[in-house]
Amino acid sequence: MSVSTTVTPAMTPSEQAAALVGRRYRMVDHYEVGREKIREFARAVRDEHPAHRDEGAAAALGYDGLIAPLTFPAILWITLQRMLFESVLTGYDLGQVLHTEQRIRMRRPLVAGDRLRCDSHVESFRRFGDKDFMVVENLLTDHYGEPVQSAHTTVVAQTGATVAGELARAVDGVILSGGSSSDRREARADIDPLSAAGLLEYHEQVDTDRLFTLPPGRRSRSVPTFEDLAVGTELPPLRVRLTRGDLVNYAGVSGDANPIHFSDEVAQAAGLPAVISHGLLTMGLGAGYLTSWLGDPAAVTGYAVRFAGFVPVESNRHSTIEFGGRVKAVDVGRRSATIALTATCEQRKLFGRATAEVLLR
C-alpha cells in the first residue's frame, strides 16, 4: 500500500490509518524506568516475584536494579498509541479500539534506571467490513542505543457509522479531559500536531531481526532445569480473581484510559456485555503466572498472545481467570523450551494462541 504524504483531520479514520503505513515515529523524550513504578506495575498485574520488589532478589539474578515485569513496556506502547491518536489518528475514539494480538521479544529485561528511547513503525493496515486492523512495531533501545525489547501490536477498531456515533457520544462524557475525538479535532491549526503530542517522524531503517541476538554469556537461573522438563510437561494451574477495582488500578498504572474498561455506558455502546478487562492486563497476569513457575523473569526471551475473548467484570462481583500451561517444545542446543499457555473465564477461551520462549539452567 502506498504511503500518503499528508494525514489530515478531513480524512476518514480508515484513510488516516492507511496513510500511516510505512511511517516511523519516535518519542521526543526518553522514558526512565523507575523503581517505584516497577513495584506499582507488579502489584497491578499480581506478579509476586521478589525481583520486582526487592533489590537483593534482583541482584541474586545478576541485575543491578529491580527487574520490570514482562509486560511493563505496555506503559510505553500505550503512551505511543495515545500520542498517535492525539496527532494523526484523530478520527478514532478510544472506545472503538481493542487489542487483538501482542508479541514481545526480549533481549534482556528492563531494569530500574534504564533510560529508554521508543520508536514506532506502522507495519500494515487492512479493512474487513466495518473493522479496521492495524499492526505497529515498537522498538525500545537503551541510552547506549542497544536494543532491549521489541513488540508487535495488532489493534482493531469498529468504524460503522451508527456504532461510531453512539460511541463518540458515550466516550465524550467520560474520557480523560482532552482525549475525546471532538477535543482532538479542535486542536489549534497553527500548532504542529506531532510536536504537540511529543513525537517526531524519522526515516532510517532498523533491522530488528539482526539486532535481537541474545547477549553473550546470558544464562538462566530458572527453578526448573532443562532436564526437569519434557514435551507435554504440565504447569500447575492458577486461578486469579478480577474486580472493577483491579481494572481501575491497572488503567491508572499503565495509562490505558480506554473507557470500555470502566464505563458501562461506553461498553454497551461498543456492543460489549459489560465493562471488560484490558487485554494487556490479562496478558500481564499470564506473564506473572509463567514467571512464578519459572522462578526467573529474566529467563523469558519471547512472549506472544493472540486474544480470543475478553473478561467481563460486573460492578458488584468478581470474575475469575484460570491459567494453565504445558511444555510444547524443547531445544537441546539452547537449553530452552516453548511454553503454551491457556487462559479461560467461565469456560470461555481468552487466549486463542499464547506461547513463551524460556531459557533453562
| Weakest mean pLDDT among 31-45, 165-179, 222-236, 296-310 | 165-179
How large is the average pLDDT for residues 50-78?
96
pLDDT of residue 97: 84
User: Is 2 a residue whose pLDDT tops 50?
Assistant: no
Q: Nine-digit cell at 300?
A: 523469558
pLDDT of residue 132: 95
User: Is 329 a residue whose pLDDT tops 90?
Assistant: yes
| Weakest mean pLDDT among 269-278, 293-302, 314-323 | 269-278
Q: What CA–CA distance (Å, rounded) separates 220 from 288?
A: 17
User: Is 289 a residue whose pLDDT tops 80?
Assistant: yes
Q: How confident is the model at residue 290 (pLDDT cuts 50, 70, 90)?
A: very high
Planar angle of CA 77, 33, 153, nearest 5 degrees? 15
CA atoms within 13 A on the CB side of 123: 13
pLDDT of residue 47: 96
pLDDT of residue 3: 43
Q: Which of 95, 84, 70, 76 is nearest to 29 (CA)?
A: 76
Q: Tell me the pLDDT of the chain averaged across its residues.
A: 90
Contact 60, 54 (CB under 8 A): no
Tell me the pTM: 0.92
Place of cell 527487574: 67
How large is the average pLDDT for residues 65-84?
95
pLDDT of residue 218: 76
All residues at 6 or more sequence positions from 199 whose CB lies less than 8 Å from its CB, including other chains = 25, 26, 27, 28, 80, 83, 84, 87
At how many degrees (to 10) do helices 35-44 and 279-294 cross?
100
How large is the average pLDDT for residues 267-292?
94
How large is the average pLDDT for residues 209-213?
65
pLDDT of residue 160: 61
pLDDT tens for residues 16-32?
999 999 999 999 999 99
| 98-131 per-residue burial string, b: 16 or more CB within 10 A, e: under 16 | bbbbbbbbbbbbbbbebebbbbbbbeebeeeeeb
Sequence length of the chain is: 361
Portion of the chain with pLDDT greater than 90, in percent: 72
* CATH code of the domain made up of 16-201+215-359: 3.10.129.10
How large is the average pLDDT for residues 93-97?
74
Q: What CA–CA distance (Å, rounded) separates 125 from 169?
A: 26
Domain assignments of the chain as residue spans, ordered by start = 16-201+215-359
Burial class (CB in 10 A: 0-12, 13-18, 19+), 81: buried
How large is the average pLDDT for residues 115-122?
95
User: Is 94 a residue whose pLDDT tops 50?
Assistant: yes
How large is the average pLDDT for residues 287-301?
96
pLDDT of residue 116: 97
Q: What CA–CA distance (Å, rounded) separates 190 from 49?
A: 49
pLDDT of residue 166: 67
User: Is 4 a residue whose pLDDT tops 60?
Assistant: no
User: Is 209 a residue whose pLDDT tops 70?
Assistant: no
Q: Nine-digit cell at 230?
A: 519434557
User: Is 292 a residue whose pLDDT tops 90?
Assistant: yes
How large is the average pLDDT for residues 9-19?
90
How large is the average pLDDT for residues 186-203?
81
pLDDT of residue 305: 98
For residue 85, how far is the Cα from the chain centroid? 16
How large is the average pLDDT for residues 68-95?
89
pLDDT of residue 257: 84
Q: Which of 66, 106, 63 is nearest to 287 (CA)?
A: 106
Q: How confident is the model at residue 233 (pLDDT cuts 50, 70, 90)?
A: very high
Q: How confident is the model at residue 180 (pLDDT cuts 50, 70, 90)?
A: low
Burial class (CB in 10 A: 0-12, 13-18, 19+), 23: middle
